[in-house]
Structure 1
Amino acid sequence: MSCVLACSDLDAGYSEGRPCVRGFDLELHEGEVLALLGPNGAGKTTILMTLAGLLPGLAGTVRIGGRGVKPGHARSASKAGLVLVPDDRALFTGLTVEDNLRLAVSSRRSWVAQRDIILGHFPRLAERMKVPAGALSGGEQQMLAIGRALVQHPKVLLIDELSMGLAPVIVERLLPIVRTVADTTGTAVILVEQHVQLALEIADTALVLRHGSNVLQGDAATLAASPELIENAYLGAHDTEDAEVAK
């Protein structure tokens, strides 16, 4: 599988000289799902926003599909094939479900095909196409946010806190769809998620951040079978020199 996202020695944060994330390295391959884990304030959202060009990289490089992305320029990241689903979903709440989806489709001629693909993943939206996004349930809004991202045919899909405000049973239904999308389209996914075990069930690899540093990384199934490794990483009991686990 080809590498679609590469970060090298990336520093990220909100002010020059004061990075929240330091020396972040990552290679993400086609169809790979990475669970990006860690306690609140670890720097997970900061990384996603930096990759998406919504924050300037303070140091290091980001390449998408082998193409260098201009730091701090969302258009550069988007043109290279990266799409972010933020934790607030960023929907146009006064527009209908259909209008939210249509706005993300690059060609009017492809609308019907794209609609059918999205409704195949999220059949509930078929009943809600004429409903304003602001009138949807939380789960329906997340379906719409992910669907709107998918019609852009991302090479890399970033999903920040998919489970925000959702009941666990809804999260259990949505996460397997992320896995299916990665498998069927080759889209690489970075998933920030607080439901650790649910995320590990659908991920290929996982990485734990703490205080802006990578303290644990490895095969998702291996980490799921050793929850004490995750717990130690969250609590700071894991030595950062042993950040790689057996794959």
Structure 2
Amino acid sequence: MRRLGGAAAATAGSAAVLLLLLLAALVPHLLAPFDPLAIDPSAAFRPPSADHWLGTDESGRDTYSRVVHGARESLLIGAAATGIGLGLALLLGVPAGLGAGGGPTGRRLDFGIGRILEVLFSLPGLLLALVFIAFAGPGVGTAVVAVGLGTAPGYARIVRAQVAALRTSGMIEAAVVLGRSPARILLRHLLPNALGPVLVLATLGLGQAVVWASALSFLGLGAPPPAPEWGAMLSAGRIYLGIAWWLTVFPGLAIVLVAAASTVLGRSLQRRTVGA
């Protein structure tokens, strides 16, 4: 009972953290007292205080306001990348799952897509993103697509497995007997049931996508400075780590909070899905 209570408290806390971050992303001006891009050289490198809760950076910009405004860019990049990963997973996983166990053409399609996924899996996700950026060039849009491309193979394998299992289920066979069209069976029965576990994993993947996007910005391949993006803030602050520790600690804590909260919430949803 104590363990269940602790898990429920952790889930509630994680949901509260993500809701707070979502609020910061949607209406940052309600939480941040300063313009994240307004410079004040006379206030540079001020430590955390009552006036500047998380201190100021080398240009006198308020770190707290920049962290709050950074939630919008970081979460937007993470969510968009996760959406791209899921979209690519559907494009690859659904045809492969439908072809598995079917006729010769379907089996060849499944085999071909399987080999593509194996090639993508041979590269770590972040390395795959870096390879894409090497060809497409740096930038926020490129980083979003790159992170989405890096997460797609894992989602595609799960989609393929779910579709392959459902296509021979009693529910689908009953829909065929009732004369439902293939398009209706796909849209009304197959995809909703196949996407459930994938969407749960996407909650876990959101934190990973934010971490990867921040890593790309840290390397100078994502959001350019002086954008209030957590990875870019980490990159700028590391130069002054010896004299202004708050410039790296607080953006880093924000990244950790997103990753931890999405992981805890995703695990909880995963347990409930398995239990159901």
Flag whether TM exceeds 0.5 (same fold): no
Larger fraction in helix: 2
TM-score normalised by the chain length of structure 2: 0.22
Provide the TM-score with structure 1 as the length reference. Answer: 0.24
Q: Which has the higher strand share?
A: 1
